[in-house]
């Protein structure tokens, strides 16, 4: 009972501290990827949903768990787990300022990619450092491990110093003017002297090394690969056959994947609803915590008419959008909307709508087992994302463009889908459009 009360106090304390930090900085001033990372880690600490690990010991990063047990997922699990509310608060406040500074310079998509790479590099280097300490100092380090996002934050400090190499900085609240490569080392050793935490020092050192590895090795390799496999072919096509440049490759790829999936050409369990079951998708995600099935119904259609409508709309909409925003941005936005729409739909059908007696012909008892959000819901999300004069001045409906506001057009299209394809989820289409509308205020302008 005492432990439960202590946990409640810690959760309440973490909530107050994070709320204070967010209000102090200003939610509108926090870029999307930074805010999402903070939100996810706060939800994990507050245990708002089921996790693949039970406690911090099951997620911490060390030689015993990662190498000996082969649990490589700890590299990511341990980075987003925190020991107490103050640990979470200080890490998130520091990360918010780093995110505001860096994400505004490199963009949301690239910053999210940087966070992923730095998290992976930091975790691998932490395991390597513990292994070296166990060999050279004491075998007890085989069983040491650490948790927290501070290693990634130290890696971001290295990047931050490279972005502003001559800027004066604060180290533990004191203004310090040093060359860009020395400030992070100074802060690393000052924190170690003040705390004396060997586990924290290894995590921070792994983050610093990951930052320098990213700048000195990873970035040049990726730049070289980009030039060889992306820029060089584009230049060759532009010179030899310029007529191929406006081809919407992303749209064609998604259309072909949809046709192949619904023609049983692909039998992958992640793209075939036999692995999940159409009638239990939301319940499978929320109730059982099987989030690996989140993308299972992305391309799945209910029949031939639905497939024809999906492909026709995708070809028409994708052709217009991809020419304006580019293939990479179009595919990234589509993938983002798939995740956001499916999460929002599963949460809506599992938690919100069962409070009502009946919605769209689905009873309360059946609402938790409502079917998935179909591909047409994702297409409605795309129309909402790029509508409202952002890129689409008229509402696209199949191969036509109708001069009406996107909200009115979406209502008419949802009604049309319900009339022509009554077995589809009206709730899913509505959630898809609203998710796209919400993301239009979050995702940066192309």
CA distances to 91, 120, 261 from 17, rounded to whole Å, are 12, 28, 47
Of the candidates 82, 87, 204, 369, the residue annotated as catalytic is 204
The angle formed by the CA atoms of residues 253, 32 and 59, to the nearest 5 degrees, is 90
Structure tokens at 388: 């409202």
| Spatial contact of 418 and 364, defined as CB atoms under 8 Å apart | no
Q: How many CA atoms does the CB half-sphere of 170 hold within 13 Å?
A: 6
- Strand-pair partners of 236: none
The residues near 287 (Cβ < 8 Å, ≥ 6 apart) are 350, 368
Catalytic residue among 150, 302, 316, 406: 150
Q: What is the sign of the dihedral through the CA atoms of 131, 133, 139 and 141?
A: negative
- Across 82-104, b (16+ Cβ under 10 Å) vs e yields beebebbbbbbbbbbebbbbbbe
Whole-number Å distance between alpha carbons of 195 and 414: 59
Helices (H) and strands (E) in the chain, counts: 19, 8
Strands (DSSP E) contained in 273-414 are 358-359, 362-363, 395-397, 400-402
Q: What is the DSSP letter of 274?
A: G
Tell me phi and psi for residue 396, to 5 degrees.
Answer: -85, 130
Active-site annotation holds for 293: no
Q: Catalytic site residue 204?
A: yes
How far apart (Å, rounded) are the C-alpha atoms in residues 324 and 241? 20
- What span, in angstroms and rounded, lies between the C-alpha atoms of 390 and 370? 33
CB 342 within 8 A of CB 373: yes
Label residue 276 exposed, middle or buried (CB < 10 Å: 0-12, 13-18, 19+): buried
Q: Two tokens at 208?
A: 């610093």
Catalytic residues: 150, 204
């Amino acid at each position: 009972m005492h432990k439960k009360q202590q946990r409640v106090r810690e959760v309440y304390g973490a909530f107050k501290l994070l709320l204070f930090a967010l209000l102090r900085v200003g939610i509108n001033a926090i870029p999307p990827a930074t805010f999402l990372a903070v939100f996810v880690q706060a939800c994990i600490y507050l245990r708002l949903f089921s996790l693949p690990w039970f406690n911090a010991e099951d997620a911490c990063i060390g030689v015993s768990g990662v190498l000996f047990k082969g649990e490589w997922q700890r590299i990511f699990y341990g980075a987003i787990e925190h020991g107490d509310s103050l640990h979470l608060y200080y890490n998130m406040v520091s990360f918010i300022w780093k995110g505001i500074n860096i994400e505004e310079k490199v963009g949301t998509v690239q910053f999210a990619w940087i966070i992923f790479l730095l998290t992976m590099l930091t975790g691998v280097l932490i395991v390597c450092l513990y292994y070296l300490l166990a060999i050279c100092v004491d075998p007890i380090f085989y069983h040491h491990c650490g948790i927290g996002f501070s290693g990634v934050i130290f890696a971001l400090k290295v990047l931050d110093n490279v972005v502003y190499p001559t800027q004066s900085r604060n180290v533990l609240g004191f203004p310090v003017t040093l060359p860009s490569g020395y400030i992070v080392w100074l802060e690393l050793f000052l924190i170690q002297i003040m705390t004396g935490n060997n586990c924290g020092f290894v995590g921070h050192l792994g983050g610093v090394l990951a930052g320098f590895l990213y700048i000195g090795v990873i970035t040049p390799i990726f730049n070289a690969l980009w030039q060889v496999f992306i820029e060089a072919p584009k230049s060759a096509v532009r010179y030899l056959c310029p007529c191929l440049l406006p081809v919407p490759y992303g749209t064609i790829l998604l259309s072909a994947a949809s046709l192949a999936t619904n023609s049983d050409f692909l039998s992958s369990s992640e793209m075939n609803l036999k692995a999940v079951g159409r009638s239990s998708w939301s319940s499978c995600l929320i109730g059982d915590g099987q989030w690996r099935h989140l993308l299972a119904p992305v391309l799945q259609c209910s029949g031939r008419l639905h497939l024809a409508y999906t492909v026709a709309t995708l070809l028409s909409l994708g052709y217009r959008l991809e020419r304006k925003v580019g293939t990479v941005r179009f595919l990234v936005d589509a993938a983002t909307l798939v995740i956001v729409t499916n999460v929002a739909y599963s949460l809506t059908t599992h938690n919100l709508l069962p409070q009502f007696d009946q919605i769209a012909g689905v009873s309360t008892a059946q609402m938790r087992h409502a079917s998935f959000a179909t591909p047409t819901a994702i297409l409605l999300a795309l129309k909402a994302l790029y509508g409202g004069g952002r890129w689409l001045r008229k509402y696209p409906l199949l191969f036509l463009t109708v001069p009406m506001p996107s909200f009115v057009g979406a209502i008419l299209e949802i009604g049309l889908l319900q009339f022509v394809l009554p077995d589809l989820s009206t709730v899913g289409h509505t959630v898809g459009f609203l998710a796209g509308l919400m993301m239009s205020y979050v995702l940066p302008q192309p």
